[in-house]
Structure 1
Amino acid sequence: MMKVLAIASIGGHWIQLLRLKPAFNNVNLEFVSTNECCAAMVPEHTFYAVPDSNRSNKIDVLKSFWNISKLLVKTRPDAIITTGAAPGLMGIIAGKMLGIKTIWIDSIANIDELSMSGKIAMKFADRVYTQWPHLANTKVLYSGSVL
Structure 2
Amino acid sequence: MTINFSKRTASVLAIASIGGHWIELQRLTPLFKDHDVTFISNKSFLDSKVNGSKYYNVPDANKDQKFNLIKCFCMVFVRVAVLRPGVIITTGAAPGLMGIVIGRIFGAKTIWIDSIANVEKLSLSGRIATKIADRVYTQWSHLSTGKIVYSGNLL
User: Shorter-normalised TM-score: what interval?
Assistant: over 0.9
Which residue is equivalent to 2:101?
93
Q: Deviations over 1:96-145 (max 9, x none)?
A: 11111100000000000000000001111000000000000001000000
Which residue is equivalent to 1:30?
38
Give the distance between the partners of 2:48 and 2:10, measured in 1 at CA: 23
CA RMSD between the two structures: 1.3
One of 93, 98, 107 as aligned partner of 2:115: 107
- SS across alignment from 2:100: helix
Q: Which runs of 4+ in 1 moved over 6 A?
A: none
TM-score between both structures, scaled by the size of structure 2: 0.91
Query: Does residue 1:137 correspond to 2:142, yes or no?
Result: no
Give the distance between the partners of 1:115 and 1:145, measured in 2 at CA: 16
Matches within 5 A, 1:1-147: 3-147=11-155
Paired residues in the alignment total: 147
Contact 2:92 2:113 in 1 (8 A): yes
Letter aligned with residue 37 of structure 1: F
Letter aligned with residue 115 of structure 2: S
- TM-superposed CA distance for 1:2, in Å, is 6.8
Letter aligned with residue 97 of structure 2: L
Give the distance between the partners of 1:2 and 1:8, measured in 2 at CA: 16
Contact 2:112 2:126 in 1 (8 A): yes
Which residue is equivalent to 2:3?
none
Gaps (5+ residues) in structure 1? none
Gaps (5+ residues) in structure 2? 1-8
Question: Identity of aligned pairs, percent?
Answer: 52
Range moving further from structure 2, 39-48 or 115-124:
39-48
- SS across alignment from 2:12: strand
